[in-house]
Structure 1
Amino acid sequence: MAVKLLKSEQVLPITIEEAWDFFSSPMNLNEITPEDMKFKVLSEVPQRVYPGLIILYKISPFAGIRMGWMTEITQVQPMRYFVDEQRSGPYRIWHHEHHFEPHPEGVLMTDILHYDIGKGIFGGIAGALFVHKKVKGIFDYRFKKLEALFPRKA
C-alpha cells in the first residue's frame, strides 16, 4: 500500500463563519477545481454538508478520460472541520479532511489528504509519472483561486 499524504495550509482574510459558509456548500467545489478536470456535480445537494451525504460527480482527472466519482461526507463539526471520503472512483483510498480555525489574519484553512491510487506496480508508475503531480496541481490551483476569491485588503 502506497498511501500518500498531502497537507496544505492557507490563511484567508475572512471570518470562520464566511469560510464555513463557502466550503461547506458542495456547489462551491466546482469554483475551486481546475477547469481541465471538467468537474460536474450530478446529484442534488443541500446548501450545507452533513454526515452521510453522498455526492455524485463526473470528473476528468487524467488525459481527458471522463469517469464517475462518489464521495461521502463522513464527519462534520460545524465551523471546525468536515471529512469527505471516496466511495467509488479513481482512487483506492481518498480521505480528505478540511479544517478551519481562527487566525489573527482571518481563518487558517488546513487540508489533509490521504490517498492511494492502488493498482500495484502500474499504480506506482502512474503515480510517479503524473498522478501525484496532478493531485498537487489541484491544490496549487485551489490555493491561487482562493487568494483571488478572498483577496487581502490593502
Structure 2
Amino acid sequence: MRHTFSSEQWVPFPVELVFAFFANPANLPHLLPAWQRARVESSRLIAPPTRPVATDPALRFQSPAAGVGSEIVLSFRLMRGLFLRSRWLARITEFIWMSHFCDEQLSGPFAYWHHRHGITREVRESIDGTLVTDDVEYEPPMGPLGEFAHNSYIRPQLATLFAHRRKRLEEILPIAAAQSVRRR
C-alpha cells in the first residue's frame, strides 16, 4: 500500500544557494543523523540543463549537481545501534533549476520511494528566502509485515528524519553561505 509524507521549511537564504546545496549529492550525508553514519558510496552524475545565470555574481554557485538520469548509491544504518548497513540506489527522474527535482529508489529499504524536493524562492517579511518542500510517496517493505510496522515505526522514523534535516539545514546553510562568499 502506498503512503505519502510531506514536510516544508522556509529558510532565509537565496534559492540559488539552497538549490545548489540540495542538488549536490555529496551534501546528503550532512543532513542525516550522525548515528546513521551515512555516506555516498558512488555516484554517476549526469549534468542538468544549463544553470541559469543569476544577475548577482554572488549567487552564481559552481557546485556539482545531479541532473536527470544521475544515480547515487548511499549507505547508512537503518536503526540506531544496528551495525549492518543498508544500501540505497536512487535515480534523479526530474530536474528543473530553482523549482524542484525528484529522486526514485531503484533498490533499497522501501518497496517503492518517490521523493519530490521543491526548492522555490519565497519572500517573507521583506526577506528573500527559499521554501523547501518535500513530498514523498512510498511503500513499506515486506508486504503485510511492513504495513504492520508502518504506523508504529516507519512513519514516525520518517517524521524524525525530516525534523532532524530541518534542524541541520538551519545549521548548515549559514556555513555554506559564508563559504561561498570566501570563495569569490
| Structure-2-length-normalised TM-score | 0.76
Shift of 1:5: 1.1
Q: In the TM superposition, what whole-angstrom CA distance separates every residue of 1:74-107 from its partner, at most 9, and x where no partner exists?
A: 1101111100000000101110000111111311
Runs in 1 of length 4+ with deviation above 6 angstroms? none
C-alpha separation in 2, matches of 1:56 and 1:120: 24
Shift of 1:118: 3.4
Partner of 1:61: 78
2:111 maps to which of 86, 92, 103: 92
Give matches, 1:15-54, under 5 Å.
15-44=14-43, 46=45, 47-54=64-71
Q: Is the 8 Å Cα contact of residues 8 and 134 (structure 2) preserved in structure 1?
A: yes
**Aligned-partner residue type, residue 108 of structure 1:** L
Structure 1 vs Structure 2 CA RMSD: 1.5
Q: Is the 8 Å Cα contact of residues 71 and 85 (structure 1) preserved in structure 2?
A: yes
Aligned-partner SS, 2:155:
helix
Moved more, 111-120 or 8-17: 111-120
- Which has the larger Rg? 2
Paired residues, number: 150
Q: Does 1:78 align with 2:97?
A: yes
Q: Is the 8 Å Cα contact of residues 6 and 114 (structure 1) preserved in structure 2?
A: yes
C-alpha separation in 1, matches of 2:132 and 2:102: 13
C-alpha separation in 1, matches of 2:37 and 2:30: 11
1:103 maps to which of 122, 126, 136: 122
Aligned-partner SS, 1:10:
strand
Moved more, 134-143 or 64-73: 64-73
Q: Is the 8 Å Cα contact of residues 43 and 71 (structure 2) preserved in structure 1?
A: no
Give the unaligned 5+ runs of structure 2. 46-63, 175-184
Aligned-partner SS, 1:52:
coil
